[in-house]
């Protein structure tokens, strides 16, 4: 696990399943609070990974970190308040492109991150291809497919959080343009768990 303060932030567009994932990760003892000075609620809970108990924050849904409403302002403040957090970026597998904007903005901030492709059950039903391996290769951080509603993939997410990686925006751009980037083992890599965060998939 990378050096952090023991905080995990769940970030992503509204309605992608962050809260259902949050409940699956943290169980029953979550606390709902009002973000100071606003009417925006957020939820905090705990998860234990590798005997280390971490605080998980269900950050209000946001499309961008160039905040245009209160919820987005709170999302930005929460990221700034936790500069050493691990971030779980949640995308809707049926509309990946829509979530990539805030995903890239968050990765550019230099947080160790994991990407979740949630709603894979709906993607399958609609025959939408959600290629976690390809996305992982482009972003250079682990990508996990889940269906938060059934719990599928959530245990795997718990395991992969330990392998969160800091992305390199230049490399993402180059890979998205189809250029081959030589894999570099990054700091914080737990070794070859096959997460792909080092680019070695």
Per CB under 6 A, residues contacting ligand GTP are 12, 14-20, 61, 118-119, 121-122, 147-149
Collapsed DSSP state (helix, strand, coil) of residue 147: strand
> E strands along the chain, which residues?
7-12, 31-34, 41-49, 52-58, 86-92, 112-118, 143-145, 165-166
Binder of residue 16, out of Mg ion, ligand GTP, none (CB less than 5 to 8 A by kind):
ligand GTP
Site for Mg ion contains 38 (CB under 5 A): no
Closer by beta carbon to Mg ion, 18 or else 175:
18
Question: Which residues on neighbouring strands pair with residue 7, listed in sequence order?
Answer: 55
Q: Is the backbone of residue 85 left (phi > 0), alpha (psi -120 to 50) or beta?
A: beta
Q: Which is nearer to ligand GTP, 160 or 172 (CB)?
A: 160
Q: Which residues pair with 53 in a beta bridge?
A: 48
User: Given the structure tokens 């990765």, which residue do they identify?
Assistant: 107
Select the binding partner of residue 148 from Mg ion, ligand GTP, none (C-beta < 5 to 8 A, by kind): ligand GTP
> Residue with CB nearest Mg ion?
19
When binding is defined by CB under 5 A, the residue of 6, 19, 109, 137 that contacts Mg ion is 19
Binding partner selected for residue 149 from ligand GTP, Mg ion, none, CB under the kind-specific 5 to 8 Å limit: ligand GTP
Pick one of ligand GTP, Mg ion, none as the site partner of residue 27 (Cβ within 5 to 8 A by kind).
Answer: none
Between CA 155 and CA 146, with CA 184 as vertex, the angle to 5 degrees is 20
Residues near Mg ion, by CB under 5 A: 18-19
């Amino acid at each position: 696990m990378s050096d952090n303060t023991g905080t995990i932030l769940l970030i992503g567009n509204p309605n992608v399943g962050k809260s259902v994932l949050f409940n699956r990760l943290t169980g029953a003892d979550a606390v709902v609070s009002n973000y100071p000075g606003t009417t925006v609620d957020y939820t905090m809970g705990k998860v234990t990974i590798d005997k280390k108990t971490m605080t998980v924050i269900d950050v209000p849904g946001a499309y961008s970190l160039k905040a245009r409403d209160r919820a987005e302002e709170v999302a930005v403040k929460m990221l700034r308040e936790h500069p050493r957090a691990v971030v779980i970026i949640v995308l809707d597998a049926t509309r990946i492109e829509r979530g990539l904007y805030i995903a890239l903005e968050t990765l550019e901030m230099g947080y160790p991150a994991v990407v979740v492709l949630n709603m894979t059950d709906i993607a399958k039903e609609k025959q939408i291809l959600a290629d976690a391996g390809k996305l992982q290769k482009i972003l250079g951080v682990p990508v996990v497919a889940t269906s938060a509603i059934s719990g599928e993939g959530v245990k795997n997410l718990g395991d992969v959080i330990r392998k969160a990686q800091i992305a390199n925006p230049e490399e993402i751009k180059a890979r998205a343009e189809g250029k081959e980037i030589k894999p570099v083992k990054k700091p914080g890599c737990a070794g070859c768990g096959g997460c792909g965060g080092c680019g070695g998939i």
